Amino acid sequence: MTIKDFVLFLGKSLGLFAIIRNTRLQGLRILCYHGIASSGTDESKFRRKIYANTETFARRLNWLARKKYNVLDLSQALELLEKKRLPRRAVVITFDEGFYSFYQTAFGLLREQLYPATVYVTSYYVAKQNPVFRLVVQYMLWKTTRTQFDLSEVDQHLSGEYVCRTEKERDDLAWEIFRFAETRLDEEQRVELARRLGQYLSVDYDQIVRRRFLHLMTPEQIREMHDAGVDIQLHTHRHQFPLKEERARREIIDNRTALAEVVDRPMVHLAYPSGLWSEAAFEWLKAIGVQSAATCEVGPNLPGTSRFSLRRFIDSENISQLEFEAELSGVADLLRSLRSKIKLWRGQPEETMADVRSQVT
């Protein structure tokens, strides 16, 4: 048990979680999920910061219900926050990307609790219906038992021998493949490259395709979710938010245009891909009809929080139930404030932004 776990365990045992939840909890909490892993599968072992197991997600929802949290629709929650009429224990549940597992698993669990949810959908792979290229490459490199690689055996334009025994070494190798594939190949050629890579690594690419766990929902599934009341919103077309305004605008416009074929409600809320954002974008986001934008920074959203830098808590299999309860009860806010004051007292610079690096493309 780490020091952090011990402090949280002690605090909960002494009733601190309940006291803060009942007396000090303020603002709107926004939860962020990505994929939900089915029982007996290995995606939550592959990327614990992206996937939560089905049992974990169900446990979170049951806890919210037992503790009588008010799970709200995003637009409704932001309106109430603006008017300072937000109910206590207000929560919004969001999903990024639009993975197939939302359709397959998450929606059913949410419906059991009658909880609304917002899905920020990135649309390129909705149209293509191939596994997300970066993820499938990373998954196969994680899955293989091979530790020595000669990429020229996969493609003649790739060269170099690699020894990969650590996660960092596998990531470095993956980026060599990304740089080549994303600058010189089209989508069809990338699919063929991934299939050859799977053969070289003795990982069944076609089985990955059949399982669909690295796929996004189809347009028809998005329409079905939309018709069932799920709030479909924006996450850019190619999962990127370029620094240049013109390119960033194009990402959002392409995203909205693609989703408009299956969504007939306004798409005015955005989740920044990879959590990367800049205040310089706020005005032009307003100009193209975006009303809110969500980051990956943690903490409560208060009436003074900019609607273009909404805070969210990224939940996954990497987060323990104790950490989840601390975050939703307001205990984590108290600990972060205390840590900040200690750093200030010691003359250390205060952290201004969470160091979040998304592993989804």
pLDDT value for 348: 61
Residue where one domain finishes, among candidates 211, 243, 265: 211
Q: Which DSSP helix (H) or strand (E) runs through 276?
A: none
pLDDT value for 349: 59
Q: Is 104 helix (H, G, I), strand (E, B) or coil?
A: helix
Indicate if 160 and 66 belong to the same structural domain.
no
What six digits make up the tokens of 154?
Answer: 């996969």
Distance CA 54, CA 317 (A): 10
Indicate if 153 and 255 belong to the same structural domain.
no
pLDDT value for 326: 95
Q: Give the global pTM.
A: 0.93
Distances (CA, A) of 58 to 5, 38, 46, 55, 273: 22, 12, 20, 5, 26
Q: How far is CA 113 from the centre of its chain?
A: 22
Indicate if 104 and 231 belong to the same structural domain.
yes
Residue where one domain finishes, among candidates 150, 178, 211: 211
In a domain, 360, yes or no: no
β-bridge pairing 231-234 and 161-163? unpaired
In a domain, 266, yes or no: yes
Domain that holds residue 15: 3-128+215-346
pLDDT value for 361: 44
pLDDT value for 354: 42
Torsion, Cα 198 201 204 209, to 10 degrees, reads -40
pLDDT value for 37: 95
CA 56, 62, 65, 66 torsion-angle sign = negative
In a domain, 357, yes or no: no
Distance CA 275, CA 286 (A): 18
What six digits make up the tokens of 237?
Answer: 């077309």
Indicate if 96 and 112 belong to the same structural domain.
yes
pLDDT value for 159: 81
Contact assessment for residue 259 and residue 251, using Cβ atoms and an 8 Å cutoff: no
Looking at the 3D structure of the chain, how many domains does it have?
2
Q: How far is CA 317 from the centre of its chain?
A: 12
Alpha helices of 260-292 — where are they, by DSSP H?
282-287
> What are the beta bridge partners of residue 227?
none
Residue where one domain finishes, among candidates 184, 211, 238: 211
Distance CA 141, CA 227 (A): 38
Distance CA 240, CA 243 (A): 10
Distance CA 204, CA 195 (A): 8
Q: Which residues contact 149 (CB under 8 A, 6 or more apart)?
A: 161, 162, 163, 164, 173
Going residue by residue through the chain (361 aa), what tens digit of pLDDT does each one get? 777 888 888 888 989 899 999 988 899 999 999 999 988 889 999 999 999 999 999 999 999 999 999 999 999 999 999 999 999 999 999 999 999 999 999 999 999 999 999 999 999 999 999 999 999 999 999 999 999 999 999 999 998 789 999 999 999 999 999 999 999 999 999 999 999 999 999 999 999 999 999 999 999 999 999 999 999 999 999 999 998 999 999 999 999 999 999 999 999 999 999 989 999 999 999 999 999 999 999 999 999 999 999 999 999 999 999 999 999 999 999 888 877 777 677 776 555 444 434 444 4
Indicate if 193 and 302 belong to the same structural domain.
no
Indicate if 175 and 64 belong to the same structural domain.
no
